[in-house]
Chains A and B, each alone.
Chain A
Amino acid sequence: MSEPGVVIVGAGHAGGSAAAFLRQYGFTGPLSLIGEEPLAPYQRPPLSKAWLKGEADAEALMLRPDSFYSENDIVLRLGVRAERIDRDARTVILSGGEAVPYATLILATGARARRIPLPGLDLGGVLALRTAADADQLKSALGPGRRLAVIGGGYIGLEAAASARALGAEAVVIEREPRVLARVACEALSTFFQDYHRKHGVHFILDAGVEGIVGGDGRAAAVKLAGGDLVEADAFLVGVGAVPNQELAVDAGLHCSDGIVVDLEARTSDPAIFAIGDCTRRPMPLYGARMHRLESVPNALEQAKQAASALTGRPAPAGEVPWFWSDQYDLKLQIAGLPFDAVQTVIRGDIAAAKFAVFHLDAEHRLQAVEAVNAPPEFMAGRLLIGQRKAVAPDKLRDMSISMKEVAA
């Protein structure tokens, strides 16, 4: 048995980055990275975008080359599942029964696609999109003459629909709410995206309940809607959100609440255990005493830095404004902040020209969030303004004759 060092469970973007930052910051002790998937850490965002469209290859997807891990003395153990944490013995018990000792444990277990209780979900051709293996399956099911049915009009579903169109396949998106992106974007943005997708040939069935997926010979053939209508397709993607992989932490008695609860050092309720990335619920210092779950690469990197800094005695990294992005067709959507306590929205730019931003202000006119479509200055300035927490006049934001540089000055 080796000397206990830092053990990271979860070899995704968060786990892989934590290992890299620890070495970058001068940590010289034993460091191992345990992952359930057979692949070294890779980037998930392209799976529904560039990679799905065939614009990025497997090598481009990898966060770092395999040689990186041996060169940096990082023990990479892939295809292994962590089954249990023994906090008293400070060990992680792996699927084979081996107990790996740790001085510090970092949980980077990510999130998994939410499964809704739906008949027919196990039929062949019904897919989720979370891993490279999922994306492989989806890609091979798409092409000219094929039809993709997406259940759930969130980012994953819309990005997959756009990629399907780029590959020459038909795409239909079925959404329970009256508009797409209902949970994650404002109404103006939803409407804009629906229109843009329609122009690119995507069909929408909104306000629609799904009864199940039907088929024969073990293969899915159609989505059965609540009214009984059938939506036939060749491939089916269920994209209805993600749930945090917190079971290891719950079983170990760590404080969890729809996510492993951590502080701003990414420490859990056990000081020897950190948690980072999609699996966590974290403080949001910009938004009062709120705790929130952020599913994004910037958050994974921020928390990886927090944990690596705490473990190497570096000063805590500066707080970041949360942000997200999505690419669909020729649209670059960039979102900064979260619209907590927002009471007013201000639109800047021209929605019809697909170049605009929606600003969300609270009652004191402080910018809480900005959603920018093909509008990088609005996004970048918005991100600064959100971080500064000072009031901005709505008229100034709306006025295109005042540059965003001036607004942010």
Chain B
Amino acid sequence: MAKITYIAHDGSSRTLEVKAGLTVMEGAVKNNVPGIDADCGGACACATCHVYVDEAWMDKVGAASAMEESMLDFAEGVKPNSRLSCQIKVTDALDGLVVTTPESQH
């Protein structure tokens, strides 16, 4: 279990207990957190689960794969702390993680 805080573009936030083994994307979708669409269900095929990882957590979530990098290259509003949330597996070490969703997923 890890507590994950999802902050929406408008500043509203939700903190949820997400089971280890799920992805940050699944934690959002299963709880109807707005702003994470995840059209492909986690296949790293669509870039509609784009999030900004809180700077303090960048090391802990690890680096993006080459596949993820090339998907992110074309997502809207990409920043150095952009990740696809379907590629971040939740572990106990991510307890407290904070991510922010972008204005749009296109």
Residues 6-51 of B at the A interface (beta carbon under 8 Å): 26, 29-32, 34, 37, 39-41, 43-47
Known: A325-B45, A376-B70. A298 touches B39 (CB 8 A): yes
A283: shortest Cβ distance to chain B, in Å?
Answer: 19
Q: Decide if B54 is an interface residue (CB 8 Å cutoff).
A: no
Consensus secondary structure, chain B interface: loop
Q: Decide if A332 is an interface residue (CB 8 Å cutoff).
A: yes
Which residues of B are found within 8 Å of A323, using beta-carbon distances?
46
Residues 68-103 of B at the A interface (beta carbon under 8 Å): 70-71, 73-75
User: Which among B30, B34, B75 has the greatest number of chain A C-beta atoms within 10 A?
Assistant: B30
Which residues of B are found within 8 Å of A269, using beta-carbon distances?
none
| Partner pick for A325 among B26, B32, B43, B73, CB 8 A cutoff | B43
Q: How far is the CA of A377 from the CA of B44 in the complex (A)?
A: 12
Which residues of A are found within 8 Å of B73, using beta-carbon distances?
377, 380, 405
Q: Decide if A327 is an interface residue (CB 8 Å cutoff).
A: yes
Which residues of A are found within 8 Å of B46, using beta-carbon distances?
298, 323, 325
Known: A332-B67, A380-B70, A408-B74. A65 touches B30 (CB 8 A): yes
Q: Decide if A334 is an interface residue (CB 8 Å cutoff).
A: yes
A68 touching B106, Cβ below 8 Å: no
B45 touching A377, Cβ below 8 Å: no
Which residues of B are found within 8 Å of A408, using beta-carbon distances?
74
Which residue of chain B is the closest to A403 with respect to CB atoms? B73
- Residues of A within 8 A of B (CB-CB), count: 32
A297 touching B41, Cβ below 8 Å: yes
B104: shortest Cβ distance to chain A, in Å?
Answer: 8
Residues 294-353 of A at the B interface (beta carbon under 8 Å): 297-298, 301, 318, 320, 323, 325, 327, 332, 334
Q: Decide if A72 is an interface residue (CB 8 Å cutoff).
A: yes
Residues 46-61 of B at the A interface (beta carbon under 8 Å): 46-47
B32 touching A24, Cβ below 8 Å: yes
Which residues of A are found within 8 Å of B34, using beta-carbon distances?
24
B96: shortest Cβ distance to chain A, in Å?
Answer: 22
Q: How far is the CA of A301 from the CA of B40 in the complex (A)?
A: 10
A46 touching B41, Cβ below 8 Å: yes
Q: How far is the CA of A377 from the CA of B75 in the complex (A)?
A: 11
B30 touching A380, Cβ below 8 Å: no
Known: A64-B29, A64-B32, A318-B106. A380 touches B74 (CB 8 A): yes
B67 touching A376, Cβ below 8 Å: yes
Which residue of chain B is the closest to A376 with respect to CB atoms? B70
Which residues of A are found within 8 Å of B31, using beta-carbon distances?
64, 68
Q: How far is the CA of A152 from the CA of B64 in the complex (A)?
A: 37
B40 touching A68, Cβ below 8 Å: no
Known: A297-B41, A301-B37. A376 touches B30 (CB 8 A): no
Q: Decide if A33 is an interface residue (CB 8 Å cutoff).
A: no
Chain A 7-25 per-residue mask, 1 if CB under 8 angstroms from chain B, else 0? 0000000000000100110
Chain A 48-63 per-residue mask, 1 if CB under 8 angstroms from chain B, else 0? 0000000000001011
Known: A68-B30, A323-B46. A376 touches B39 (CB 8 A): no
Q: Decide if A34 is an interface residue (CB 8 Å cutoff).
A: no
| Partner pick for A376 among B32, B37, B71, B106, CB 8 A cutoff | B71
Which residues of B are found within 8 Å of A45, using beta-carbon distances?
40-41, 43
A28: shortest Cβ distance to chain B, in Å?
Answer: 15
Which residues of A are found within 8 Å of B29, using beta-carbon distances?
63-64
B44: shortest Cβ distance to chain A, in Å?
Answer: 8
A395: shortest Cβ distance to chain B, in Å?
Answer: 21
Q: A68-B30, A298-B46 are in contact. List 8 more A-B contacts (CB 8 A).
A: A45-B40, A60-B26, A64-B29, A301-B39, A320-B106, A325-B40, A376-B71, A405-B73
> What are 27 A-B pairs at a CB distance below 8 A?
A20-B32, A45-B40, A64-B32, A65-B30, A68-B31, A68-B32, A297-B40, A297-B41, A298-B39, A301-B39, A320-B106, A323-B46, A325-B40, A325-B43, A325-B45, A327-B43, A332-B43, A332-B44, A332-B67, A377-B70, A377-B73, A377-B74, A383-B74, A384-B74, A404-B74, A405-B73, A405-B74
